[in-house]
Structure 1
Amino acid sequence: MTEPQNSSTAETPAAAQQVNPVDAILRRLATRAMGLTGADIERIIREARLKARRSKRAIRYEDIEEGIRGNRAPVPYSLRWRFAFHEAGHAVVHHALDLGPVRGLNIDTGQGGYNLVGFHVWTTDTRDWYENMLTMLMAGRAAEKLVLKRVSSGSGGADDSDLARATRIAFDMERTLGFGTEHPLLYRPNRDPGAVLDREPELAARVHDRLVTAFDRAGAILRRRRPTFHALAKALFDAQAMDEAAVLQILAE
């Protein structure tokens, strides 16, 4: 999951339909390129230009898109389904909680899925917002559990993973944000939450309880919206990369 980008507004279906055709193509390419580095993009464009020059024609958007696809090994069938359900889970819960727009989804990486989500700035910093964030972050794992019955390590394993970010938020709610269940007015920051949680089992239990609650809540939302969830996962499985308009068309239904 990619780092969320702040956004103050979400497009309506009507607005999404009025996007300039060139902008729509650029958004499609940007969605397809999620997870690539700047150096990767530079090399792909350079190769696309060389291909066009050899064919004695101008470079086309399709050349770049083909280069992006060719830069990645095919994702195995079963893994592609897991990625699709995981990222669709994030998107459905994000939309259900009205956190903001979903800018794009991508499972065409072989390294895991990516989503680019935005947030309404006027709703941040309340207890409800943080609880909604926890629910959204746990939604990928909840989606895997709901459909595949077993979860993977894809939601954890790195400092920018879903579990890492959710744990940090839950930790801050207890220690620095004034939402703790014990001594909520005490401001107790720490740069290494893991070390604190290892030393303080009661705090670790409270943080974990927040994550369990968010996980269960995400699962309940996905069960209520199962048709939309499955439709988005199927579309993402087929397309492997979906821009905002394509995602919104399914979520809005």
Structure 2
Amino acid sequence: MKAPQNTDTTETPAAAQQDNPADPILRRLATRAMGLTGADIERIVREARLKARRGKRSINYKDIEGGIRGNRPPVPYDLRWRFAFHEAGHAVAHHALDLGPVRGLNIDTGEGAYNLIGFHTFGTNTRTWFENVLTVLMAGRAAENLVLKRVSSSSGGGDDSDLARATRIAFDMERTLGFGTEHPLLYRPHRDPGTILDRDAELAARVHARLEAALDRAAAILRRRRPTFHALAKALFDAQAMDENAVLQILRDGDPPP
């Protein structure tokens, strides 16, 4: 069986839209459905309609939410706490660095936890921005180590994992983005960073140093905002899925005074 791994989804915020009464319900459903495929959603809605038809009534929100929850096996207690701390770590670091909105968090699946994080359009592509993104990517691992005193494979294990994406960014900073500590003006792309890192020990050390610095920075942010971090993890553990408004309320409550 494949080990549970953290799956993080990033997005660039779309143009602002006017709210309507259905928005909170749709956001909650979207948060609950994070990690499901289009085919999964289609089947769940079809089954919910059938259930409503048998009851001689219209389909409602609870039918669909129940279908989503029923599609997933219960997450073991300890694993749910690990997921909650991991995702809360990402969210707190993201908010502290003012990178953009946290659209939702979900730990309601035994196959992994999910977050939907947006990025502001300003400030991108600078050295500081890339270092901030590295910090957010490493924050889940930092959170596990800070609270649970040991890390799991939730940060790695796949090409879309936290460690994979962080390694790629750090690699590109050294070789293609002009931020390298050695020959920064040389553009040296490669489709398979792992191959290059295995052959070039000095480059691997520089990339790893960037990841260590991001990990330390993430841990420092979580220690400074420990009450907010723990409050968000507890709320996520209890709810298992939180939309943007629920997450933001806790993050804003923990913001330092101006």
So what's the TM-score if we normalise by structure 2? Answer: 0.94
**For residues 67 and 2 of structure 1, what CA distance do their matches in structure 2 show?**
23
**For residues 221 and 145 of structure 2, what CA distance do their matches in structure 1 show?**
13
**For residues 169 and 252 of structure 1, what CA distance do their matches in structure 2 show?**
29
Counterpart residue number, 1:246:
246
The one-letter amino acid paired with 1:37 is T
Counterpart residue number, 2:172:
172
Output one character per residue of 1:69-123: Cα deviation in whole Å (capped at 9) or x when no partner. 0000000000000000000000000000000000000000111110000000111
- Whether 1:39 and 2:34 are equivalent positions in the alignment is no
Flag the structure with higher helix content: 1
- Is the CA contact (8 Å cut-off) linking 1:87 and 1:140 kept in structure 2? yes
- Is the CA contact (8 Å cut-off) linking 1:137 and 1:162 kept in structure 2? yes
**For residues 21 and 239 of structure 1, what CA distance do their matches in structure 2 show?**
22
SS at match of 1:74: coil
- Whether 1:48 and 2:48 are equivalent positions in the alignment is yes
- Is the CA contact (8 Å cut-off) linking 2:9 and 2:114 kept in structure 1? no
SS at match of 1:24: helix
Alpha-carbon shift at residue 19 of structure 1 (Å)? 4.5
- Is the CA contact (8 Å cut-off) linking 2:158 and 2:164 kept in structure 1? yes
**For residues 65 and 158 of structure 2, what CA distance do their matches in structure 1 show?**
29
- Is the CA contact (8 Å cut-off) linking 1:8 and 1:119 kept in structure 2? no
SS at match of 1:134: helix
Counting only pairs closer than 5 Å after superposition, residues 1-253 of structure 1 correspond to structure 2 as 1-7=7-13, 19-253=19-253
Alpha-carbon shift at residue 2 of structure 1 (Å)? 2.5
**For residues 156 and 38 of structure 1, what CA distance do their matches in structure 2 show?**
25
- Equivalenced residue count is 247
The one-letter amino acid paired with 1:119 is F
- Is the CA contact (8 Å cut-off) linking 1:107 and 1:114 kept in structure 2? yes
The one-letter amino acid paired with 1:182 is E
Output one character per residue of 1:167-222: Cα deviation in whole Å (capped at 9) or x when no partner. 00000000000000000000000000000000000000000000000000000000
Output one character per residue of 1:4-26: Cα deviation in whole Å (capped at 9) or x when no partner. 001278x9xxx9xx953310000
SS at match of 1:104: strand
Unaligned runs of 5+ in 1: none
SS at match of 1:184: coil
- Is the CA contact (8 Å cut-off) linking 1:8 and 1:121 kept in structure 2? no
The one-letter amino acid paired with 1:55 is G
SS at match of 1:158: coil
- Is the CA contact (8 Å cut-off) linking 1:8 and 1:120 kept in structure 2? no
The one-letter amino acid paired with 1:247 is V
**For residues 87 and 20 of structure 1, what CA distance do their matches in structure 2 show?**
29
Unaligned runs of 5+ in 2: 1-6, 254-258
Structure 1 vs Structure 2 CA RMSD: 1.4
**For residues 81 and 124 of structure 2, what CA distance do their matches in structure 1 show?**
33
User: Which stretch has the larger CA shift, 236-245 or 20-29?
Assistant: 20-29
- Is the CA contact (8 Å cut-off) linking 2:167 and 2:207 kept in structure 1? yes
